[in-house]
Amino acid sequence: MMSATLDTPGEVIAGADGWDLVRDVQRGKIASFGVLYERYADSVLAFVHSRVVDRSYAEDLTSETFLRVFTKIDSFADRGIGVRALLFTIARNLVIDHSRSRYSRTVTVEHDVLSDTRTATDDPEASVILGHQVADLAQYLQLLTPIQRDCVHLRFTLELSVAETSVVMGRPATAVRQLQHRAVQRLALLMKEEWT
């Protein structure tokens, strides 16, 4: 078990990667955990919220993800995969566990999660067009298989690498590439059919 020492956030190296922060926490620098949380909490929440309808429930699962990381921090080691992929794997497992309970309501893609990717514009006409494009994309994504939607969300919305997506999905990188290819191919076909 780690021995906690109080340090100030100023002592944390600002440019440290996620694994440096994990190692700092393992050595007892608790402030590094705060930096780790600040760096990754929003992306973990977006990932969880893409699967859970209720935002407050998604926030609870995000908090639980970081609580698990903190309580098991000594067991983590850098094995060539980013900390973000590790966090998403833990979050994904929590979502699966909680989705098995009778109180959980899950979805794969939710319109307001996609709408976060919109760019701000002062042009009302452009905003309306962009809103329709996002709604159309959400509709097309619902026509993919659940596993294809997960792959697309991880790769393009959350911008995980193939290796990170592989870890989160628990599938080989070749399978992730294949899923991504088939999903994009299917989306292109659906869009082509819409416009012909």
The secondary structure of 9-73 as a DSSP string is GGGS-TT--HHHHHHHHHTTBTHHHHHHHHHHHHHHHHHHHTTBS-HHHHHHHHHHHHHHHHHTG
Please name each of the domains of the chain with its CATH number. Answer: 9-99 (1.10.1740.10), 111-195 (1.10.10.10)
154 and 160 Cβ atoms separated by less than 8 Å? yes
Name 5's bridge partners: 29
d(CA 38, CA 112): 22
Which phi and psi (to 5°) does residue 144 adopt? -80, 165
d(CA 86, CA 82): 7
Per residue of the chain (196 residues), give pLDDT as tens.
444 433 433 343 444 468 999 998 888 888 888 889 999 999 999 999 888 888 888 888 888 898 888 888 888 888 888 898 899 999 998 888 877 663 434 343 443 444 444 444 455 555 555 554 556 667 778 888 888 888 888 887 777 888 888 888 899 989 988 888 888 888 777 766 665 5
Question: CB-based burial of residue 40 (10 Å sphere; 0-12 exposed, 13-18 middle, 19+ buried)?
Answer: buried
Closest CA to 59 of 71, 75, 41, 77: 41
The secondary structure of 104-123 as a DSSP string is --B-S--HHHHHTTPPP-S-
What pLDDT is stored for residue 8 in this prediction?
39
Helix, strand or coil for residue 138? helix
Distances, alpha carbon 191 to alpha carbons 98, 140, 141, 185, 187, in Å: 35, 8, 11, 10, 6
Consecutive H or E run containing 187: helix 173-195
Which phi and psi (to 5°) does residue 175 adopt? -70, -40
Residue with tokens 């998604």: 58
